[in-house]
Amino acid sequence: MAKTIGYSPDELWKAIIEDLFDEFLEYFMPELYEQIDFTKGYIFLEQELKKLFRESKNKKRITDKLVKVYLKNGDEKWILIHIEIQGYNDDEFTRRMFKYFYRIYDKYEKDINAIAIFTDDKKDYKPDKYEYKFLGTKVTYEYNTYKILEQTEEKLLQDKNLFALVILAGLYSIKCEKIKEQKYKFKLNLIRLLRQRKYTNEKIQIIFDFIEGIIRLPETEEKLYKEEIEKNLKGG
């Protein structure tokens, strides 16, 4: 992930998912993770996804990652994983999720595991299915959901998967929007945790960049923060 100051929340989440995709899969889809042959790699199908939704060229969509992965069964079979980051209340969300599913399935005819990750601060907003009814015709499409606001700090701190720290950063970013005076405390706590976990320098930089973008401090606290993180990142 490059420098993230100025990135939108959607861009930050898309980037961290791609940069830490192995950890993302293990955190959100442990059963699928065990079946994947990572020696064959995986492919992010960004261009293929754009081709499926040509009419959205001049409209903002919350389409995130479409990824092709290979299984350990020795066959050429692969699974498409459609990831949706949703950060605002959208009445058309379930319909859009269904549209993504049927277009992707129609194009590739492969198994699809779809997940919607909700990054908003609305407790009661977590749509998990699309329903269509007309006379005797009925369609119900259900997909996986994950609400960051429903997670607890204690549980995330206990999780050894480094993507749990990413989710914790997301949780802190939601909380500090309501309690702005906690921004400095939350952000500094994340940096300290980052050092304590003993990750590789590459992983530390990736998560550090995400934290920098997702929790932005006012200028009055920025100088103090920079002094503190310099000590932490240098092991001082």
Residue 216: inside a domain? no
Rounded Cα gap, residues 56 and 8, in angstroms: 19
Whole domain around residue 46: which residue ranges? 36-150
Q: Does the residue 181 lie in any domain?
A: no
Tell me the C-alpha distance between 13 and 100, whole Å: 19
pLDDT at 55: 59
* Mean pLDDT (whole number) for 106-129: 89
Radius of gyration of the chain (CA): 19
Of 31-35, 65-69, 82-86, 172-176, the range with the lowest mean pLDDT is 82-86
Calpha distance 170→163 (Å, rounded) = 11
The confidence score (pLDDT) of residue 2 equals 46
Q: Which of 7, 77, 71, 6 is nearest to 41 (CA)?
A: 71
Q: Can you give the pTM of this predicted structure?
A: 0.86
The verdict on residue 201 lying in a domain is no
Residue 196 lies in a domain: no
Nearest-angstrom CA–CA distance, 34 and 90: 34
Determine, yes or no, domain membership for 130.
Answer: yes
Q: Which residue has the tokens 């442990």?
A: 30
Domains: count for the chain: 1
What whole-number distance in Å separates Cα of residue 172 and Cα of residue 146?
16
Q: How many whole angstroms separate alpha carbon 96 and alpha carbon 124? A: 19
Neighbours of 177 (CB within 10 A): 12
CA distances from 102 to 138, 145, 204 (A): 15, 18, 38
Q: In this model, does residue 99 exceed pLDDT 80?
A: yes
Over residues 136-153, mean pLDDT: 95
Residue 61, domain member (yes or no):
yes
The rounded percent of the chain whose pLDDT value lies above 90 is: 39
Mean predicted confidence (pLDDT) in 158-166:
94
Residue 162 lies inside a defined structural domain of this protein: no
Residue 222 confidence (pLDDT) above 70:
yes
d(CA 207, CA 194): 8
Residue 75 lies in a domain: yes
What pLDDT, on the 0 to 100 scale, is given for residue 219?
76
> How much is the pLDDT for 5?
58
Cα–Cα distance for residue pair 160/178, rounded to 1 Å? 28
Q: Over the stretch 3-61, which tens digit does the pLDDT of each residue have?
A: 555 678 888 998 999 999 999 999 999 999 999 999 999 998 888 877 887 655 445 54
Which sign does the torsion angle of CA 188, 189, 193, 199 carry?
A: negative
